[in-house]
Amino acid sequence: MKRSAVHIQNFRSVKDAIVEDIDDFNVFIGKNNSGKSNLLSAIHAFFRILSNGSLVSSQPVIGKLSDFTEKVSSHPISITARFVLSREETIKILTMMREERPQIATALEALPEDLSLSIRISILPPPQAYSFVEEITLASFSEETRNWLLLKVDLASAEELYRNDQEDQGAQRMRETAYARASGPSKCCVQNRNIEIRSPPL
């Protein structure tokens, strides 16, 4: 899978920018403070957010008020990346879709071979400051007007996913605390001194 373009909106000094024709080696040229580093930071944040494998990330690498253009948080930060799919990757994705939804197998056969995959991530401002995968689409390179929506998450659904994620994290912390208390005394070394931590009786 090869990156071909990125679209960044409302991130620091980048109000709205599209970088196309991305290749294996790319050079950004511009004056100091023109936004080159912010472009790279946005791309880095995109992949960091995706790396957790979840639709929602409650701790994205960006999302402070200072990350929003002119600190105006009425609109989310939006980062969209487009990838060129190899023939093998296209077959793999279509196979997964057939297995997930056999009823669309006939429709999938009509898809062209020259496909790109686009993923859009939105990052909301504080106090929540979470990110979510807003949209995933397939598109044809030869016919740019043709595209197929694979996933669409609206804000209400994202908020519900975020609340569920927070509840899951809270439950996990409670389990970890209960386990730590039940496991008895433990020892650690701080500044070359042995400190014994005793768990209160349950």
Q: Would you state the pLDDT for residue 73?
A: 92
d(CA 63, CA 82): 22
Per-chain mean pLDDT for the chain: 85
What's the pLDDT tens digit per position in 167-195?
887 777 777 777 777 765 544 444 444 33
| Nearest residue to 155 (alpha-carbon basis) of 80, 59, 76 | 76
pTM listed for this prediction: 0.80
Beta carbons within 10 angstroms of residue 12's beta carbon: 20
Eight-state DSSP code of residue 68: B
User: Residue 199: is its pLDDT beyond 70?
Assistant: no
Looking at CATH, the fold of the domain delimited by 2-153 is given as Rossmann fold (3.40.50)
Would residue 187 be called left, alpha or beta, if left means φ above 0 and alpha means ψ between -120 and 50 degrees? beta
Which tens digits make up the pLDDT trace of 84-103?
998 899 888 888 888 988 88
User: Mapping DSSP to helix (H, G, I), strand (E, B) and coil, where does residue 19 land?
Assistant: strand
Return the higher-pLDDT residue of 1 and 105: 105
Instruction: Kindly tell me if the per-residue pLDDT of 142 is higher than 90.
Output: no
- The residue ranges of every structural domain in the chain are 2-153, 157-202
Which tokens is 143 given? Answer: 């016919």
